[in-house]
Amino acid sequence: MTNTGMFFRMLFSAVFRRRSRAVMAVIASMVGAATLFCLAMICIAVPQQMNQEMRAYGANLIVTPTGDSGSDAESDTSASGDSGSSADGSSAAKSTGIDAAMVKHTTEMVAAKGSQKHATYRYENVRVNAAPYVMAGVDAAQVRNLNHHWVVDGSWPTAGKVLVGRDVADAMGLKVGGSITIGYRASDNASGQKTSSTGSSVSSSQSAESPESDAASQSSQSSQQMRDGRVNSDIMDTTGTEFRVAGIVDTGGSEDSIIYAANADVDKLTGVKRGVDVIEYSSGASDLNALVASINDMTSMHVKAQQVTKITASDTRIITMLQTLFWIVSLVVLVLTLVGVGTTISSIVSQRRNEIGLRKALGASSAAIGVEFYVESAMYGLIGGLVGTAIGYGLASWLCVAVFERAIAFNWALGVASVALAALVAVVASIPPVHRATRIDPAIVLREE
């Protein structure tokens, strides 16, 4: 029989003679591998799943017009997070907004970096019972798909029907199915004459207008209400177009103070068809900073992109907490696995003490004895790692289905790493007892016999 054949014969003989100890070593490796693989799979899958879940709570990226085209876009979007923008009180023409071609181009740039959903908003100042309100022209399907957290009592806006915010409904006593008369005055929408913030962008960025913007707005309203030192009778004009109230939206945010209508109705009401003021994106891009930079670097586009801080910060904070928890638990599991495997191998070495002394007396080297124990430990680790990885994947799949209602695919690279790590941990755990075994003095052992 060759040396190799004798080696494996002795190895398997030692394993089967001490099956209970071998099973304990395999179980220790299996538990460690199952726990670590399950945590690793969840740590990889959860950020992706969380990213998708967070996308249901609105946009994480907004795009607005810049002032490069000579418009007052900064005034229109002062609430979108640009602290340097404010109403200038000038009489320039109202911003033409972002046209359809630019919306398409920007959307293609966002889609190239990952999954995306988007909605566009066109804001106009309108009057209801002579009081100023903001009206948003929207595509109802886009807004509904983007903002799953909106609570709508009734239905979404369609032709001739509007969706009003809860604050608007409470102020005017509106009910679903009732009517509302909305008036539009071009003078209300001149540059610097904004009477309200653009609601959706406020909600997205949680920013407030600067004091300079407030002062300019108040000044413009005062000049609008007074003419030749007398009260302007135009502010008492309650005429307008009648709409039905399709539904009432309640979000607890600035959306509750806005009236939403179909784009075609806004075009008809204003008599002007123009671009949008804000594009909101729910982007699945892995690096939003790079996406924002790539959009802003295209100066010819005359648009400006920025992240929605409250969404991206929450997403990042939750993922960081989960990853930190993963590393802490993984470290604890790794230490426990080392202790479990090391204790079992130490017990095996103690039981084979006489055998080791006899083999050394017959001429076996310490290196040969050490290699045998290391291979035996690695075998326990491989078996435990294979079984544990399979169990860990089953647990991870069950957790993801139970929590996120989504299945996850097996990560082969992570699986191979898990099995290799289990074998390595078993070998490392066996180093102290094997070192003691190779230092056994055969003369002392045999004399005890």
DSSP secondary structure string, 183-239? EE-GGGGSTT---S--HHHHHHH-----HHHHHHHHHHHHHHHEETTEE-GGGG---
Q: Are residues 107 and 190 both part of a single domain?
A: yes
- Nearest in space to 306 (alpha carbons), one of 211, 212, 208, 204: 204
Quickly tell me which residue has 């903002």 as its tokens.
147
DSSP code, position 405: S
Point out the domain boundary residue: 285, 307, 329: 307
Amino acid 263: pLDDT: 93
61: tokens are 């990226």
Amino acid 3: pLDDT: 57
Q: Are residues 327 and 270 both part of a single domain?
A: no
CA distance 353 to 441: 10
Q: Are residues 369 and 246 both part of a single domain?
A: no
What is each CA distance from 235 to 25, 94, 184, 339, in whole angstroms? 85, 20, 11, 81
110: tokens are 């966002």
What is each CA distance from 134 to 78, 130, 313, in whole angstroms? 14, 13, 29
Total count of domains within the chain: 2
Q: List, in order, residues 6 or more apart from 263 with CB less than 8 Å away.
A: 122, 137, 138, 139
Q: Are residues 221 and 296 both part of a single domain?
A: yes
Q: Are residues 168 and 199 both part of a single domain?
A: yes
CA distance 447 to 295: 83
Q: Are residues 133 and 104 both part of a single domain?
A: yes
Amino acid 213: pLDDT: 34
Q: Are residues 92 and 232 both part of a single domain?
A: yes
Q: Are residues 330 and 438 both part of a single domain?
A: yes
Q: Name the β-bridge partners of 183.
A: 127
Point out the domain boundary residue: 248, 279, 307: 307
Which residues in 378-417 are b (16+ Cβ under 10 Å) and which e? bbbbbbbbbbbbbbbbebbbebbeeebeeebeebeebbeb
Q: List, in order, residues 6 or more apart from 162 with CB less than 8 Å away.
A: 135, 180, 182, 243, 244, 245, 246, 259, 260, 261, 265
CA distance 313 to 396: 26
Amino acid 249: pLDDT: 94
Q: Are residues 102 and 202 both part of a single domain?
A: yes
Amino acid 308: pLDDT: 77
Quickly tell me which residue has 């080297």 as its tokens.
365
- Nearest in space to 74 (alpha carbons), one of 273, 213, 236: 213
Q: What is the pTM of this model?
A: 0.57
Q: Are residues 355 and 213 both part of a single domain?
A: no
Point out the domain boundary residue: 253, 275, 307: 307
Amino acid 251: pLDDT: 87
Instruction: Give the length of the chain.
Output: 449
Q: Are residues 171 and 246 both part of a single domain?
A: yes
- Nearest in space to 29 (alpha carbons), one of 312, 307, 315, 342: 342
Instruction: Give 137: exposed, middle or buried? Use CB within 10 Å, 0-12, 13-18, 19+.
Output: buried
Kindly list the averaged pLDDT for each block of 10 residues, start to end, along the chain of length 449. 58 65 85 89 73 66 72 36 32 64 91 88 91 92 88 93 94 92 83 43 36 35 44 60 93 90 93 90 82 83 79 63 81 87 82 75 77 84 92 90 79 91 90 80 63
Structural domain including 271 reads 59-307
Quickly tell me which residue has 């604050």 as its tokens.
167
CA distance 180 to 148: 26
Q: Are residues 83 and 64 both part of a single domain?
A: yes
Whether 246 contacts 161, CB under 8 Å: yes
* Three-point CA angle 152, 156, 158, nearest 5°: 165
Which residues in 219-247 are b (16+ Cβ under 10 Å) and which e? ebbeebeeeeeeeeeebeeeebeebebbb
Whether 80 contacts 326, CB under 8 Å: no
